[in-house]
């Protein structure tokens, strides 16, 4: 088992109002499994994903990645786990506009190695851009790429450190149906080819049905 969440609670306070977002979530994900977390907007899917990926602290509960309790760690140690073992693909691509596609892809590897240049990682980046069908776009900057191409760059970036888990938050939300289908086909192909665990948040049944397992959320809880 690569991922375990135990009794996760999360709430947000707005002035005198308290919004209970997650209400005791328990979740196990096996190594190499693809899982879709599905539900309508506002049920807490993205909040749960961020907590599972070490981006947002729960108010209560524990998250284990590779049997390491990530919220018992110092922030800097949890950041190392995110950089080394986790890849993120978001609805908004979050590419750095001043960098080329290749430079965006290799940036997490540069951070991991604590180096200032990309030369050591250039071939790894090019191999990944080839995997996502963008080897001929390596020198293009984000504004020169279509939305589908930018999302492919973001996927390559998520893979550069060979993470054990890839978390995807509505990865097709900014794409038309054709590009969305291509992106999901690519993600599931990479999941099988590389045996990397895939956890996807989506509200689309057609995407969820492609995964090994569907988990439904309602009112801050998982449906049994």
Q: Which has more confidence, 215 or 173? A: 215
pLDDT exceeds cutoff 90 at 19: no
Look at residues 84, 82, 67, 88 and name the one whose alpha carbon lies nearest to residue 4.
67
Does pTM surpass 0.85? yes
Q: What are phi and psi of 142, to 5 degrees?
A: -50, -40
- 83-127 residue pLDDT tens: 889 999 988 888 999 999 999 999 888 887 766 566 778 888 999
What's the average model confidence in pLDDT over 157-165?
A: 91
pLDDT, the chain, mean: 90
**Domains of the chain: residue spans and CATH:** 32-55+75-222 (3.40.50.300)
- H-helix segments, the chain: 45-52, 75-85, 101-113, 122-131, 147-159, 177-194, 205-208
**What is the CA 98 to chain-centroid distance, rounded?**
23
Percent of the chain with pLDDT over 90: 59
User: How confident is residue 172, by pLDDT bands cut at 50, 70 and 90?
Assistant: confident
Residue 118: per-residue pLDDT: 66
């Amino acid at each position: 088992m690569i991922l375990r969440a135990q009794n996760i609670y999360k709430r947000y306070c707005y002035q005198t109002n308290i919004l209970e977002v997650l209400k005791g979530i328990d979740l196990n994900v096996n190594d190499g499994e693809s899982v879709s977390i599905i539900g309508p907007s506002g049920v807490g899917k993205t909040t749960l994903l961020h907590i599972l990926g070490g981006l947002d602290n729960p108010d209560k509960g524990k998250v284990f990645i590779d049997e390491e309790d990530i919220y018992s760690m110092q922030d800097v140690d949890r950041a190392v786990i995110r950089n080394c073992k986790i890849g993120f693909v978001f609805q908004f691509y979050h590419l750095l506009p001043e960098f080329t596609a290749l430079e965006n892809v290799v940036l997490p590897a540069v951070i991991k190695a604590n180096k200032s240049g990309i030369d050591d990682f250039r071939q790894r980046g090019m191999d990944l851009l080839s995997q996502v069908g963008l080897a001929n776009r390596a020198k293009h900057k984000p504004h020169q790429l279509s939305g589908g191409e930018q999302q492919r760059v973001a996927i390559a970036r998520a893979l550069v450190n060979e993470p054990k888990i890839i978390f995807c938050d509505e990865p097709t939300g900014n794409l038309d149906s054709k590009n969305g289908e291509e992106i999901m086909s690519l993600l599931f192909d990479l999941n099988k080819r590389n045996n990397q665990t895939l956890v996807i948040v989506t509200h689309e049944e057609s995407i969820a049905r492609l995964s090994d397992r569907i988990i439904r959320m309602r009112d801050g809880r998982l449906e049994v």
